[in-house]
Structure 1
Amino acid sequence: MNFSFLTPVPDSVVAHNELLSTQALGRKLRIHSAQSGIPDLDGVQIAIIGVLENRNDINYIGEDFNLNEIRKSLYALFPGNWHTTIADLGDIHKGESIEDTYYAVKTAVALLIPKGIIPIILGGSQDLTYPIYRAYDALMPMVNIANVDSKFDLGDSTKPIKNNSFVGKIILDEPYNLFNYATIGYQTYFNSQEEIDLMDKLYFESYRLGSVSNDITLVEPALRDANIVSVDLGSVKGSEVGSRQQASPNGFDGKEICAISRYAGISNKVTTFGIFEYKPSSIDDLTSGLIAQMLWYFIEGVNYRVKDDDFSLDHNYQKFITLVDHQELIFYKSMKSGRWWIEIPFLEEINNKLKRHTLLPCTHQDYQNACNNNVPERWYKAFQKNCV
């Protein structure tokens, strides 16, 4: 595979890694270094790529940045009882133009996923989610994105793409491959009523910060259903990160954002995970430490993936049928993991987008609600999108 656009992990970080305990995670990674070149990717399941592109940040004032502190924090952690092989492929530097950087990101993701490797993208501005999404054009017909963010990032799609408008581009640019978009942790006062209404009109999902903080398990089905999970560090509350990073006094705490990262890892569908909007500072160990722990939990989740969505054999699942307003709802519960799904019926007369989306992840609570004659919201939105 041609990864000529990747530059090695800086020598200073590699040297720092050599001083760590032999049990540390950094000593077990396959690292792209100036000395050794790009590592062999045979058997690798997770590949970390830094993208040093932040020119589409609406607050960009020409500053460069690096990911050295994140790498040092991550390398120094100790791995769990893991069986995955992880590579750090180094960085994609700013291209001549932003489009050049986008092309490199798209190419890297499109090369790795068919080899069964999950790219972890560490980035500057969150508009990098757009080239990640475009990498799926040749990989699958419909894509689900989960965005952990305080804002919807719909923006004005008629203007050039920015980190606060990339979702509008994803929705409106051809080919139209986006099936579901879920925003996790949005804060109402950061979003106009028009945007909130548009999310409803498009039957996309949105989870308010307060609801998720009350019950973090609410978002597990949305993450289980996502192909791409994109995390904006602005979703984390200011007290949890360094002073340059602080976006809002409210947001997820460290424990919650790590739980969300673990849910993303456990999902069998998630094939790209990205953390964006990092603003480094030489006196900020807090933010890099939090990102390192988020990555640790994502990798931990990947190690505990269970192939529990095979419903071809009867002994793999239990089936439950309930009636809501004359509508028969069919639920499945995996015997392996205890996780739940709900079936979305085919509409024969319609050009069906859901050829491969007939089963929708849900919660046990959704089943209980259906038993009490309440249609689960996720089912309703998926059903409506299927009718459009």
Structure 2
Amino acid sequence: MTFNFLSPVSDKVLSSIELLSSQAFGNKLKIHTVQDGLPDLNDVQIAIIGVLENRNDVNYSGEDIQLDTIRNVLYSLFPGNWHTRVADLGDILKGDSVEDSYFALKTTVAVLLENQIIPIILGGSQDLTYPNYRAYDGILPMVNIVSVDSNFDLGDSTLPIKNNSYLGKIILEQPYNLFNYSTIGYQTYFNSQEEIDLMEKLHFEAYRLGEISKSINLVEPVMRDAHIVSIDLKAVKASEVSSKQKYSPNGLDGKEICAIARYAGISNKVSSFGVYEYQRSKDDQITSMLVAQMLWYFIEGVNCRVKEDPLKDEHNYQKFNVLIEDDELIFYKSIKTGRWWIEIPFLPEVNNKLKQHTLLPCMHEDYTEAMQGKIPERWYKAYRKNSF
């Protein structure tokens, strides 16, 4: 594996490891250093990458990104009883142009994906989700993205890409690999009615902040179907973060954002995870600790993954058929974990995006509602996207 765009972790961060317990995470990592170069990644399952690119932030003022404080805190935490090996590959520096930074990230992520290594991307502005998505070109035919954000970031796709408009580029630029896009924790007053209507028209999923705060377990089946998870730190409420990071008095609290990160880690499909819009400030301890804990919970989740496929191993699942008017809905429940899926049928007479029967993660509540004659909304949207 060659990674030509990565700069080593700073000596300042490395020197702090000497003061840590031998059991601290920093002493369990494989780290890209000036002295030793890139570590051997043959047994690595997760790789951390910093991306110091923020020039497409609509509020860019020339200030550079610095991730040392996050690394210092993350290294000081104690790992769980983990079997997963993690490497810190250092940072992708700003290129001569933003396009150079995009190319470096796309190329790096593609190499990691090809080697079944999950990249954790630390940004940088959230438009970096776009090159992360483009890294899947040629790797997956259809990609699902989950964004944890107060905004949809649709923007005007005819204008140059920005951190508040990257989704428009993802939807409209070839090759068309996007199957589903879900937003977790959006706040209505930050999004125009036109954008809300467009999300509905495209059969994308959007979960309001109030829904998530009331029932955090709504996130689990959404994450179980995601390939890319992109978290905007502006989704976190102001009381939980440092002064420069404050955005809105309403948002997800620390416990909720860490639970979401863990749900992302548990998902067998999630193959890249990004945290964006980090703003360093003098009183930075709270934000850097929160980001470090989010990464900790994601890694914890990866260590708790259980491989399941009801279509391949029917003996470990219960199957339920529910008839609603002219539709037969087929549900599966895992005997091992209690998780639920609903089948999306393959329709040979139409131009399917999906080329075979496939399963959509769902909740037990979807089954009980189907028993009462109500078609689950997630199934309906997935069915519609697959048919047109």
* Corresponding residue number in structure 2 for 1:140: 140
The 8 Å contact of residues 346 and 357 in structure 2, kept in 1 or not, is answered as: no
Task: Please give the residue correspondences for 1:187-336 in structure 2 after superposition, counting only pairs within 5 Å.
Answer: 187-336=187-336
- Give, as a single letter, the amino acid of the residue that structure 1 aligns with 2:174: E
| In structure 1, distance between residues paired with 2:360 and 2:314 | 18
| CA positional deviation for 1:272 | 0.2
Q: Residues 103-118 of structure 1 correspond to what in structure 2 (within 5 A)?
A: 103-118=103-118
- Gaps (5+ residues) in structure 2? none
Check 1:341–1:91 CA distance in 2 against 1; reply closer, same or farther (3 A cut): same
- Write out aligned runs for 1:1-388 (5 A): 1-355=1-355, 358-388=358-388
Asked whether the equivalents of residues 311 and 317 of structure 1 are also in contact (C-alpha less than 8 Å), the reply is: no
Q: Kindly provide the CA deviation profile for residues 59-98 of structure 1, in whole angstroms up to 9, marking residues without a partner as x.
A: 0011112100000010000000100000000000000000
SS in structure 1 at match of 2:72: helix
Would you say the 8 A contact 2:243–2:283 is kept in 1?
Answer: no
Q: Distance in 2 between matches of 1:334 and 1:378?
A: 19
Q: Which amino acid aligns with 1:36?
A: D
Structure 2 letter corresponding to 1:376:
P
Q: Distance in 2 between matches of 1:15 and 1:310?
A: 49
Aligned counterparts of 1:382 and 1:357: Cα–Cα separation in 2? 12
- Rounded Cα–Cα distance in structure 1 between residues aligned with 2:218 and 2:343: 19
SS in 1 for 2:244: coil
Q: What are the ranges of 5 or more consecutive residues in structure 1 without an aligned counterpart?
A: none
Deviation at 1:326, TM superposition (A): 2.6
Q: Distance in 2 between matches of 1:203 and 1:5?
A: 37
1:281, 1:68 → 2: CA distance? 12
Between the aligned partners of 1:186 and 1:211, the Cα distance in structure 2 is 10
Alpha carbons of structure 1 residues 357 and 71: separation in structure 2 relative to 1, 3 Å: farther
Q: Percent identity?
A: 69
* 1:314 Cα deviation from its structure 2 partner: 2.5
Distance in 2, Cα, partners of 1:115 & 1:175: 23
Separation in 1 of the partners of 2:153 and 2:163?
Answer: 7
3-state SS of the aligned residue for 1:137? coil
Following superposition, the deviation at residue 358 of structure 1 comes to 1.3
**In 2, are the aligned partners of 1:329 and 1:342 still within 8 Å (CA)?**
yes
CA contact (8 A) 2:236 2:252 kept: yes
CA separation of 1:70 and 1:356: change in aligned 2, threshold 3 A: farther
SS of the residue corresponding to residue 229 of structure 2 reads strand
> Separation in 2 of the partners of 1:217 and 1:197?
25
* C-alpha distance in 2 between matches for 1:356 and 1:52: 40
CA distance in 2, matches of 1:314, 1:344: 17
TM-score (norm 2): 0.99
Q: Is the 8 A contact 1:229 1:264 kept in 2?
A: yes
- In the alignment, is the contact (CA less than 8 A) between 2:230 and 2:274 conserved in 1? yes
Q: What is the root-mean-square deviation of aligned Cα atoms in Å? A: 0.8
**Could you tell me how far 1:356 is from its partner in structure 2?**
5.3
TM normalised by structure 1 equals 0.99
The question of whether the paired residues in 2 share the 8 Å contact of 1:350 and 1:387 is answered with yes
* Local SS of the residue matching 1:322: strand
Question: Any idea what SS the aligned residue of 2:319 has?
Answer: strand
* Aligned equivalents of 1:136, 1:356: Cα separation in 2: 20
1:342–1:379 contact (8 Å) kept in structure 2: yes
2:247 alignment partner, SS class? coil
Aligned pairs, number = 388
Return 44-53 or 329-338, whichever deviates more: 329-338
> CA offset at residue 203 of structure 1?
0.1
Q: In the TM superposition, what whole-angstrom CA distance separates every residue of 1:333-359 from its partner, at most 9, and x where no partner exists?
A: 112211100001111111211125611
Work out whether residues 157 and 172 of structure 2, in 8 Å CA contact, stay in contact via their aligned partners in 1: yes
- Residue by residue over 1:34-66, the C-alpha shift from the partner in whole angstroms, topping out at 9 and shown as x without a partner, is 111100001100000000000000000111121
Give the CA deviation at 1:316.
1.5
**Cα pair 1:5 1:104 within 8 Å, conserved:** yes
* Partner SS, residue 328 of structure 1: strand
1: CA distance, partners of 2:81 / 2:310? 26
In structure 1, distance between residues paired with 2:315 and 2:297: 31
Secondary structure of 2:90's counterpart equals strand
Asked if structure 2 preserves the Cα contact closer than 8 Å seen for 1:319 and 1:331, the reply is yes
